[in-house]
Structure formats: C-alpha cells, structure tokens
Amino acid sequence: ALSASAATEMPPLPDVTGDKVQADGDFKIKFSIGTTESGAQYRGLEYFEKIVEQRSDGNIQVDLFPVAQLGDDREATSALQAGTLEMTMPSTSPLVNMFPQFAVFDLPFLFPQPEMADAVLDGEIGQQMLEDASSQGLVAIGWGENGYRQLTNSQHPVEKPEDLDGLKIRTMENDLHLDIWRTLGANPTPMSFAELFTALEQGVVDGQENPWITIESSKFNEVQDYATETNHVYTPFITLVSARFWDRLPEDYQALVRDAATKMGDYQREVSRTLNDQIKQDLKDSGMQITELSPEQVKVFQDQLEPVYEDWRDQIGGELIDDIREQV
C-alpha cells in the first residue's frame, strides 16, 4: 500500500546509505506490529527491511507482519521471549507490567512538543531505559513514535470533561490510562488493540483514543463519528528483538540491525509528524466531526488530571518524573 488514504501519499523511502556488512550465516527476521500497512509505523518497517536486506547482501531476510497477525503488543513480546518471533515494535504502555518505568510516558500532557519526547528518548533517560529493557529475554534497540493520542467516540462531541460522563472508553492495558479516564469521569475499559475495531463496531465500547494516523489507518473513523483533538498522551514505540535470536547473530550483524533500527526510528517519527495534520484533514473530509480545543479548553483537562501525577509519583519514581519535567 503506497498511500495512507486516497488523499495522503506516503513520502518515498530514503536511499540506503552505509557499506555492506559481511558475516557468516543466513538469518530470517519476522517483524510483527499491531498497526496496518497504511500507517507510518509500517512505512518505517519497510525502510528497516530495505536497509537490513541491502546491507547484509540478502543474508538477513526481513518479513513484515502488520495488523497483529502474529499477536497483539503483549503476545508478540511474549513470542520474542519464547524465541518464536524475532522482532516487534509495541507501544510502551501495554508493557508496564514488565517495565514499570515505561509508565512515565503514560502521564498526561508530559511532552508539550514532539521534539521534547525526542530529547528524552534519544538522550540519557531513553538510552538507559533501552538498557534496562534489554532483559527478560528481550533486547531493546530503539525508539519510534505512535504519537499524540486523540479521543474518538460514537455518541456526541466532547469539549470538556463533563461530556465524558458515562462514556465507555477503551484504553490500552495500562492502569495509568484507566486512572486518566476515570479521573475525567468516563467509564474506561482495557482491551488489546487487536480487538478494538470490532468492539467499536459492535458498540461494546463508545470510544477509544489513538493518534490520528492510527485512527485513520485502522479505519476507526468508519465506526466513530466524533473526535476531539486532546493530545493528552504521547506514546512511544519501542523496537524489541528476541534475545534468543540476537545471541545467534554475528556481532557485525547486530551492529547493522541496531543501526537500521535507529534509522527506522528517526524516519518513522518524521513520517508520522509530516502526515499528522494531513491525516486529520483527511478524517474531516471523510465526514468525521473533529473538535479542536482552545488552549483554555485543554487546560481544563490538564488541571483535572494533575492529581494523576501525585497518585503515580511513588510507583514511577519521583526523580524520573522530575528529570523529565525539567527537560521539557
């Protein structure tokens, strides 16, 4: 699929730079993600595939599996641990049970600008987190972005927290996200991404929240008439490799895969940001009623959510929260 929609074209894949890498052996990487072929995440994976295949001279073959065909974020991560899948790129949020520090990214309105997320993810904090997450049968080798989350629902426009009263909102499997929506007065329920479209279609839940590009590429607009541009959470993607596979890779190929993951992460974030506004417009054109909030309206949500910071401070680690808030 070349275009994110009829109206929005994906930018062309960059050329591959860097020398060919010689090492012994033939390897296969099955790379699974939850989002679809028309999203920015998949576009990033195509770039990763191109880099790794070209620079290994075909000795490493990469096969891409979108739409949670090989499991949702948690299942794919377990498959890496079991050694039955080589790579995946989940949102950090469903993995907080394994890596409690990831919950810091679930704090509402943490990063006012995407560049601030980059500074943290690509700086010391993010690099330390990759090291810490390189355990439990996993090797964490890079960051990407799912992006700023927006609210959609099937019932009515939402402009203020009171409009959420009683709305059934699907959240990721993450207690902090549940806390956010309860605090705002909604009725949240956790669910894996793979089940979400059907749950929306059948009215099991009234709404959900995801970045514009994920809303569009997963066609949630076909079953959700209303959206609100809340930008309430910025969700990173993390690139994970099975440690069992990693340990079999010659060192030179490990370096190649790491380098390709970094380039994929940079490119994928660039695509996601370039397309964000265009896709919002596409969604409007498709008939979705999108409520854009004024800074004052956003502040009402933000103020109501400030207690969440106190509630989660001990669990996440006050120092980490302060470190990040100092940087943004």
List of residues contacting ligand EAX (CB under 6 A):
34-35, 73, 90-91, 146, 172, 193, 210, 214
Nearest approach in angstroms of CB 78 to ligand EAX is 15
- Is 14 or 190 the residue whose CB approaches ligand EAX more closely? 190
DSSP state of 104: G
Give 303's contacts (C-beta < 8 A, 6+ positions apart): none
Give the nearer residue to ligand EAX in terms of CB position, either 172 or 205.
172
Comparing C-alpha atoms, which of 303, 161, 285 is closest to residue 228? 161
Phi and psi of 11, rounded to 5°?
-65, 155
Beta strand 207-210 pairing with 234-242:
unpaired
Q: Between 27 and 143, name the residue whose CB sits nearer to ligand EAX.
A: 143
Q: Which residue is nearest to ligand EAX (CB)?
A: 34
Strand residues in 33-80 grouped as ranges (E):
60-65
**Minimal distance in Å, beta carbon 193 to ligand EAX?**
3
Give the residues across from 87 on adjacent strands. Answer: 31, 241
Determine contact, residues 133/238, Cβ cutoff 8 Å: yes
**Could you give the C-alpha distances from 305 to 34, 184, 210, 295, 326, in angstroms and in order?**
28, 7, 18, 15, 19
* 55 close to 21: Cβ distance less than 8 angstroms: yes
Residue 252 amino acid letter: D
* Spatial distance between the Cα atoms of 237 and 214, rounded to a whole number of angstroms: 13
Distance CA 188, CA 170 (A): 6
CB closer to ligand EAX out of 55 and 74: 74
Q: Which of 152, 128, 280 is nearest to 206 (CA)?
A: 152
Query: What is the Cβ-side half-sphere exposure of residue 234, based on CA atoms within 13 angstroms?
Result: 19
Shortest Å distance, C-beta 137 to ligand EAX? 20
Task: Tell me the two tokens of residue 316.
Answer: 């996440």
Residue 34 or residue 207: which is nearer to ligand EAX going by CB? 34
End-to-end CA distance of the chain: 36
